[in-house]
Amino acid sequence: MVSDPTMRGGVSTADHEGLGYDVAIIGAGITGLMTAYTLAEEGYRVGVFEAASGPGQGVTANQSEVIHVVQLPFGSIKSRLAREGNLMYDELCARLGVPFKRVSALLVVRSRLMLAPLLLGYLYLRLNLRGRFGVRITGPRGAFELEPRLSDKVKGAIVVDGYGVVDSKRLIAKLYEHLAGKVDFHFNCEVLSGKPRGPVFQLRTTRGDFACKCVVNAAGLYADEVAARLGLRVEPIKPGLGVMTEYGGARGELDPEPCIRVRVGLHDNGDVDAGSLVVDVGHMGTETHHALYLGKLFDEVSVKCGGVAPGRANLNGVHYVSSPI
Give the per-residue pLDDT at 63.
77
Statement: residue 184 has pLDDT above 80: yes
Q: Does one domain contain both 249 and 312?
A: yes
Q: Does one domain contain both 161 and 246?
A: yes
Q: Does one domain contain both 150 and 265?
A: yes
Give the per-residue pLDDT at 73.
87
152 sits in which H/E element: none
Which CA distances in Å does 290 have to 73, 169, 221, 261, 270?
19, 20, 25, 26, 21
Give the per-residue pLDDT at 307.
33
Q: Does one domain contain both 159 and 175?
A: no
Helix ranges (DSSP H) in 195-297: 223-229
Q: Does one domain contain both 309 and 249?
A: yes
Do residues 247 and 315 make contact, with C-beta atoms less than 8 angstroms apart? yes
pLDDT tens-digit readout, 94-105: 999 999 999 999
| More confident site: 25 or 296 | 25
Q: Does one domain contain both 243 and 310?
A: yes
Give the per-residue pLDDT at 241.
56
What total of structural domains would you count in the chain?
2
Give the per-residue pLDDT at 75.
86
Structural domain for 177, as ranges: 13-61+170-229
Confidence of residue 240 (pLDDT cuts 50, 70, 90): low
Domain boundary among 208, 229, 250: 229
Statement: residue 283 has pLDDT above 80: no
Q: Does one domain contain both 40 and 107?
A: no
Integer Cα distance of 293 and 251 in angstroms: 21
Confidence of residue 62 (pLDDT cuts 50, 70, 90): confident
pLDDT over 90, % of the chain: 57
Do residues 82 and 68 make contact, with C-beta atoms less than 8 angstroms apart? yes
Integer Cα distance of 190 and 22 in angstroms: 19
Percentages helix, strand, coil for the chain (3-state, rounded to 5) are 25, 30, 45
pLDDT tens-digit readout, 113-127: 999 999 999 999 999
Instruction: Kindly write down the DSSP assignment for every residue of 18-36, as one continuous string.
Output: T-EEEEEEE--SHHHHHHH
Q: Does one domain contain both 174 and 312?
A: no
**Domain CATH number, residue 50:** 3.50.50.60
Helix ranges (DSSP H) in the chain: 30-41, 77-86, 89-96, 115-129, 140-146, 168-179, 223-229
Question: Residue 90 falls within a domain, yes or no?
Answer: no
Q: Does one domain contain both 290 and 217?
A: no
Q: Does one domain contain both 254 and 209?
A: no
Question: Mean pLDDT, to the nearest integer, of 217-221?
Answer: 93
Question: Mean pLDDT, to the nearest integer, of 56-63?
Answer: 85
Q: Does one domain contain both 182 and 199?
A: yes
89: helix, coil or strand? helix
Closest CA to 32 of 47, 42, 16: 47
